[in-house]
Copies of this chain bind each other. A is one copy, B any other.
Amino acid sequence: MADYHFNEKISLPFEKVYEWQKAIYMAAGMSEEDASVVADHLVMADARGVYSHGILRTSIYTSRLEKGGTDPKAQPSIKKQFGATALVDGNNAMGMVAAKKGMDLAIELAKTYGTSAVSVTGSNHLGTCAYYAQQATREHMIGICWTINCGNIMAPWGGAERQLGNNPFAMAVPCFHRPDIVLDMATSVVARGKIVMARKTHSPIPITWALDADGNPTTDAEAGYWGTVRPFGDYKGYGLTLINAIFSAILNNSSFGPTITDFYEEPEKIQNTGHLMQVINIDAIDDSLEFRKRMDEAVAYLKNGKKAPNVSEIFVPGEIEARTYERQRREGITYPIEVIEENRAIALRYNIPESLRL
């Protein structure tokens, strides 16, 4: 993914972008229901300020739908269900469609059993993990989403080869008056896109970002580009990315390691991506209203702590995104013009109805 310099901006209403994107994905062959899921996912990410996972990706997603890497018509199916667990096969549907179905099922199972684990295989890139974890918080439950990344870009600790993804996960917890706590992160120090951008602009990179192809830490963006991204917290981030790969992919025999295909470079190839959705129904342990009040108090306690120099406010995970969302939902989503133009070209090519164009 690329970083954008917001030289020229355009502000667009959430609903209009949503309808526009829905029309694009329907034109790419998806049903109205499935296209709605993808459109909602992408526009939500943008509204939260997570532009790297918003409609910026429509270009690669539609390319995969056109070239056969992802099947626009596929419907996920439940392959196995045992107690509070299930195995869902995405059947190569869009990742958002498969992952949402997995979390929908995990929430239903947690209503019955108090907790649940739904393993998803045969899926694709799912967008942001936060989206699924927050499906659970809307039901006043705790949601966890693990996914393997669609590309190997990290070496094991002590290694020099691209053998692992910077596999992301999200954990979301409901509060009462305050916004959800949403921890959504990848296991590299920074997104690979930042190294790509530094290479483009011939800028050096911090020593913590990447290893060169021999496994040496480097400040040279070119060398880092051809090497590997460094795990956050060194061996701890490596350990977490491996655990994430196990939970999301090895558990259900989805692609891992040598069988991973590259999301960007191989749009014609089936990815067989895996995820794991876990839910905890708070009411099974304690009254969820009392819990959410305790969460509000915990957040207030942290925010009222003594601040480090030059810090104006202490934030909890997901708070900045929630604030951005509230503003952009009200005032429109501010996009870099390049993203809109790229999507306009796609919409034109798909010949979507004039009334839905932006």
Binding site for B on A (CB under 8 A): 80, 82-85, 87, 112-117, 119, 142, 155-161, 163-164, 171, 173, 181, 183, 185, 189, 211, 214-216, 232-237, 239-240, 242-243, 245-247, 250-253, 256-258, 278, 280-282, 284-286, 290-291, 294-295, 298, 301-302, 305-309, 311, 313-317
Contacts and interface: CB of A to CB of B under 8 A. Distances in A.
Contacts of A245: 298
What is the oligomeric copy number? 2
A338 B301 CA distance: 41
Most buried by B among A185, A252, A301, A308: A308
Nearest to A185: B236
A242 B316 contact: yes
Q: Pick from A239, A281, A302 the residue with the most CB of B within 10 Å.
A: A302
Contacts of A258: 301
Contacts of A282: 251
Contacts of A116: 84, 115
Question: Closest 9 CB pairs between A and B?
Answer: A215-B308, A85-B114, A83-B113, A232-B233, A233-B233, A115-B117, A83-B114, A183-B239, A158-B311
A210 B24 CA distance: 50
A308 B155 contact: yes
Given A157-B314, A157-B315, A280-B117, A309 B214 contact: yes
A239 B187 CA distance: 13
A85 B285 contact: yes
Contacts of A251: 142, 280, 282, 285-286, 291
B215 A307 contact: yes
Nearest to A317: B239
Contact of A85 (B115, B236, B239): B115
13 contacts: A83-B114, A84-B114, A84-B116, A85-B114, A87-B286, A142-B247, A155-B306, A163-B302, A164-B302, A185-B239, A242-B302, A250-B294, A251-B285
A83 B243 contact: no
A232 B243 contact: no
B82 A284 contact: yes
Contacts of A158: 307-308, 311, 313-315
Given A163-B305, A285-B119, A305-B160, A298 B181 contact: no
Given A252-B285, A284-B85, A246 B215 contact: no
A298 B83 contact: no
A159 B215 contact: no
A246 B183 CA distance: 12
Given A163-B301, A215-B309, A251-B286, 14 more contacts: A80-B284, A85-B115, A87-B285, A117-B284, A156-B305, A158-B311, A159-B307, A160-B305, A163-B302, A163-B305, A215-B308, A242-B302, A242-B317, A258-B301
Q: Which of A84, A163, A250, A291 has the most CB of B within 10 A?
A: A84
Contacts of A256: 298
A251 to B, nearest CB: 6
Contacts of A161: 305-306
A203 B212 CA distance: 32
Contacts of A235: 317
Nearest to A117: B115
A237 B236 CA distance: 10
Nearest to A155: B305
A30 to B, nearest CB: 28
